[in-house]
Amino acid sequence: MKLKTLFAQACTAVVLGAMAHAALADQLDDIKKAGKIRVAIAMGTPLFSFADANLQPAGSDVETAQLLAKDLGVKLDIVSVTNAARVPTLQANRADVVVADLSITPERAKVIDFSVPYAVISIIVGGPKSMNIKSYADLDGKRIGLTRATVNDTETTQNAKGAQIVRYEDDATLITSMVTGQVDIFSSTPSNLGEMVKRAPGKNLELKFTQKDFDLGIALNKDQPRLKEWLNEWVKTNLKNGKLNAIYKKYHGRDLPDSVTKAS
C-alpha cells in the first residue's frame, strides 16, 4: 500500500510539473486570447519613456512596445514601473514582458530571459566642468548619485569603492537631485545628462567618462519558449527592415550600432 501511495504521489508531481510547464509555454497563446499584452515600462526615463506635451507616453521604448503589440495583433497595456521594479514586476506576473531600457547582464539572465538585443544604452559619469573627474579613482571621497537596481548601480558599486553612493528610486528623482544640488556628480545615461543640462544650464554639467555600453533586451520570464521565439524573430525582422533603428534614431539622434543591427 505504501509503495502504491508513493507511486501515486510521484505521478501526481510529474503531471503537475508538466501542467505548469505547459501553462508557461502557452503564454503566447494566452496573450493572444486576452487580446492585449502587458508591457512593463519605466516611465520617466528621458528619450526611452516619458510623458510628452500632451501627457501621453512617448519615447523609444514606448514606440517599440507599440510596434510589438501592433505586430502581435493585440492592444498594448502599459504597466508603469520604477527601474527597481522591472524584474520583480515580471516575476510576479504583473506584466507579460518588460521593454524598459533593461540591460542584458549575466546576473539578470539567471532569473529571467531576454530576447536578442533590440537597442543599446551607454552609462556615464557626469558632473560640473569645474570638477576634474576622468576615472573611477577620481570619485574617491565624493558623493555620486545614481538610480537603484540599474547597471549604473552595479558598475559604480564595483569600481568606485571609495565613493559615497546616493541611491534614488528612479531616474526622475535622480535628475531632480542633480538640478536642485543635492548631489554634484551622477552615474546615469547621456539622455539624462541632456535633461539635466536643459533644466539647469547654469550648473555647466558635462560627461566626464563613459563607464560601459550595454545591449538592451525585451525581458520575459523563463520557461516561455514560444514567446521567446516569437520575440526573437520579431526583433530580428524589425532590425532588418529598419523599423527599430528608425525608432531609436528618432529619439536618440544616432543609429543603432552594427553589433546590434548586423547580429540579426
Distance CA 211, CA 178 (A): 19
pLDDT bin (cut points 50, 70, 90) of residue 2 is very low
Distance CA 75, CA 46 (A): 24
pLDDT of residue 263: 76
pLDDT of residue 16: 39
Evaluate if residue 126 carries a pLDDT over 80.
yes
Q: Which residues pair with 121 in a beta bridge?
A: 214
Residues 6+ apart with CB under 8 A from 46: 59, 171, 175, 189, 191, 192, 194, 195
pLDDT bin (cut points 50, 70, 90) of residue 24 is very low
pLDDT mean over 171-179: 96
Which one-letter DSSP state was computed for residue 130? Answer: T
Evaluate if residue 19 carries a pLDDT over 90.
no
pLDDT mean over 73-86: 97
Evaluate if residue 187 carries a pLDDT over 70.
yes
What domains, with CATH codes, occur in the chain?
27-121+214-253 (3.40.190.10), 123-213 (3.40.190.10)
Evaluate if residue 4 carries a pLDDT over 90.
no
pLDDT mean over 134-154: 97
Q: pTM of the full predicted structure?
A: 0.85
**AA letter at 241:** N
pLDDT in tens, 245-254: 999 999 999 9
pLDDT mean over 161-188: 97
Higher per-residue pLDDT: 12 or 250: 250
pLDDT of residue 264: 65
pLDDT of residue 182: 97
pLDDT of residue 7: 42
DSSP per-residue letters across 38-75: EEEE--SBTTTBEE-TTS-EESHHHHHHHHHHHHHTSE
